[in-house]
Amino acid sequence: MIYAIEHDNSLVVAAATSFEEYNQFIQDNQIFNPVEADLLQMMTDKFYSRFTAPPTIFDLADKESFIQNKNITILQLEELIEKHETMFEFLSEGIIEEDNRTIEEIFNLNVYDKWDRRTEEQKQEDEENKKKYNEAKKKGGLTEGSWGDGIKKQKEETLHVTDIRISRDVNGKASIDNILAVKGLHKDTDKEIEEGIAIAKTRNNEKSIADKQGNGLIIPQPSEIHQNDDDADNEDLTIEPNSIIAIFFKVEVIGAKLSDIRPILLAENIDLSNATVQRNNAQGCWFAVHRKSHAEKAVEVLQKNGFVVSEFGVNDMGEMLAPKGISVVDVKSIDNGLPRPWNENADVYNNLSEEEKNENRKKWKAREFYFCSGGYSIEKGCFAYFVPKKWFDEHECLFPESLNIEHLLPHDLKEIEPGLYNTKSRNRDSLITDLQRKFTENLMLNMYVNLLR
C-alpha cells in the first residue's frame, strides 16, 4: 500500500507498507519525473520539515486518475507522518507490523490499574470521549488552533477585565484609554469594574505615562494584576536540562513583562501556563514551547499588538539553534585545537606513539561529539551514529575512520563501521535517553544519515 497527501497542487508520496515497496514504486514511475524534496525545503518549509527523510513529489496533469490507477491511499498529514516514520523505523524488517495498541493495552492497565480511582460512570464517559477523539482525528477535524483544551464558554457570553489603560493629556488630566477584557472567564460586576478604574486612576496619578514612541501610542506598563514571586526577573536560560526533548522554540519580548503579554495572548486563546518555561528578565520576558506553530502564533499576536518580538529554536540548556532549529550553535566546544585525528592538528596526533595516543584519548570528552539515532529493528537492534563536532561542522559528513570512543559510550554499544554503533540489548528510546545525558544530539546529522539510506 502506498500512502500520500495532496499539497500545493502536487502529490506527495511519503510512505508505504515497506521501504522496499516504496522504493519500487518510485522506480516504476520514473516516467512521471518524480523529484525528492530538496535540503532547503526540508530545513525551511513548514510542511516538508515534518518528515524524517525527503518525501517524493509528483507534479501530475491528472492526479485523480494517477491516485486511482496506482491504488494510492490519501491520508491526513499527521497520519502520513506516522506511516512515514514507522516505515523508516522498521526499514530492515520488510513488512511493517503495525502496533496500534494504547499504553494501557501494552502494560495491561486496561485490565487492572491499581491507581485508577474513577467511578464506572466516569470510565464510561472517558471511553465515549476517546471514541469521539479518534473519529475526529480520522476525519482530520483536529487542529493546532489551541494550546490547551480551550476555554469552555458559558451560556451567556461574559467578559473578564484584565487591565485598564489610562493616558494623560498635556494638562495632566488622566482619562481611560482602553479596557482589556477576555471572554468567557469571569463576569465582572459593575462594582468590580468601578473599583478597577479607581485603582488604575490612583496608580496613574502617582506616575505619569510618557509617550515613549513619539507617535501617540502608549507603551503598555507592567500590570500588577498578575505580578507575583514567579514573575521576578530571572536570568536563568535553561529550559529542561537532560530533557528527552532536544528542541524547544523560544519567544523573546523586549521591553515588556509577562504580566503585559498574558492578557493579550489569552484574548487569542493562548494560555502561557501551558508553556514549558516562562520568565521575566532584565530585557523584558521570554517563554518556550515544544511546537514551532505555537511559538509562531504567539509571535503573530504580539507583533500585531505592537510588541518587539523574536522567535528561534533552542536546546534544553537554552543554547540557540541555527538555522531554523537544525544544528546547535556550540558555545562550549572544548576541542581548542588539541591534537585530534579530525582537527587541524591531526598530523601531531598521528605522529604520537601508541602510548601517547592512548593517553590523549583518555582526555576526550563526550561533548566533543554529535550523535543521532540510526534506526531500529527487532532483528538487528538499535543503531546510533557519532561524529566529532569539529569534523562535521567543517565537512558535513561522517569521519571516515574508526572513532575509538568506546570508553565514552555505554558498554553495550559496539562500533560496526566508522561512526556507526549498534546494540541489541535495549530499545531505541532507552538508548537515546542514555546518550542525551552526555552527547549532543544533532538534527542536521540525522538528516544527513537519512539521505544516505
Among 194, 253, 190, 259, CA closest to 223: 259
Each residue's pLDDT tens digit, 392-416: 988 888 999 999 999 999 888 999 9
The yes-or-no verdict on residue 28 having pLDDT over 80 is yes
Contact 445, 384 (CB under 8 A): no
pLDDT band at 167 (very low <50, low <70, confident <90, very high): low
**What confidence tens digit (pLDDT) does each residue in 355-384 have?**
999 988 888 888 899 999 887 777 788 899
Determine if residue 324 is left, alpha or beta; phi over 0 gives left, psi from -120 to 50 gives alpha, anything else beta.
Answer: left
Instruction: Output 171 or 280, whichever has higher pLDDT.
Output: 280
Going by pLDDT thresholds of 50, 70 and 90, the confidence category of residue 184 is very low
**Which of 47-56, 166-175, 246-255 is least confident?**
166-175
pLDDT band at 86 (very low <50, low <70, confident <90, very high): confident
The set of cell numbers assigned to 182 is 477576555
Q: What is the pLDDT of residue 108?
A: 59
The candidate with the shortest Cα–Cα distance to 35, out of 13, 51, 55, 57, is: 57
Whether the bond between 323 and the residue before it is cis, its omega within 30 degrees of 0, is yes
Mean pLDDT, residues 78-104 taken together: 68
Q: What is the pLDDT of residue 3?
A: 94
Q: What is the distance in angstroms between the CA of the first residue and the CA of the last residue of the chain? A: 21
- What is the share, in percent, of the chain residues with pLDDT greater than 70? 68
Tell me the pTM.
0.32
The larger pLDDT score, comparing residue 348 to residue 191, is at: 348
The predicted pLDDT at position 229 comes to 41
Question: What does the pLDDT read at residue 180?
Answer: 52
Asked if 399 and 387 touch (Cβ cutoff 8 Å), the reply is: yes
Mean pLDDT of 68-96: 79
Question: Is the C-alpha dihedral spanning 190, 196, 199, 204 positive or negative?
Answer: negative
**Least confident segment among 53-62, 154-163, 344-353:** 154-163
What single DSSP character describes residue 218?
Answer: P
Predicted confidence band of residue 388 (pLDDT cuts 50, 70, 90) = very high
Q: Residue 93: pLDDT band by 50, 70, 90 thresholds? A: very low
**What's the rounded Cα separation, in Å, for the pair 421 and 405?**
10
Q: Please name the residue that has the C-alpha cell 489569552.
A: 266
Please tell me the predicted confidence (pLDDT) of residue 447: 83
| pLDDT of res. 49 | 86
> Would you state the cell numbers that stand for residue 244, as one nine-digit string?
528527552
What is the rounded average pLDDT for all residues in the chain? 76
pLDDT confidence band for 6 (50 / 70 / 90) = very high
Per-residue pLDDT at 319 exceeds 60: yes
pLDDT, position 203: 52
Does 255 have pLDDT greater than 80?
A: yes
Given a cut of 90, whether residue 73 has pLDDT beyond it is yes
- Digit-coded pLDDT (tens) for 256-307: 899 999 999 999 888 888 888 899 988 889 999 888 888 889 999 999 998 9
Give the Cα separation of 251 and 131 in Å (integer): 36
- State mean pLDDT over 217-223: 41
The DSSP output letter for 320 is B
CA dihedral 156, 161, 167, 172 (to 10 degrees): 110
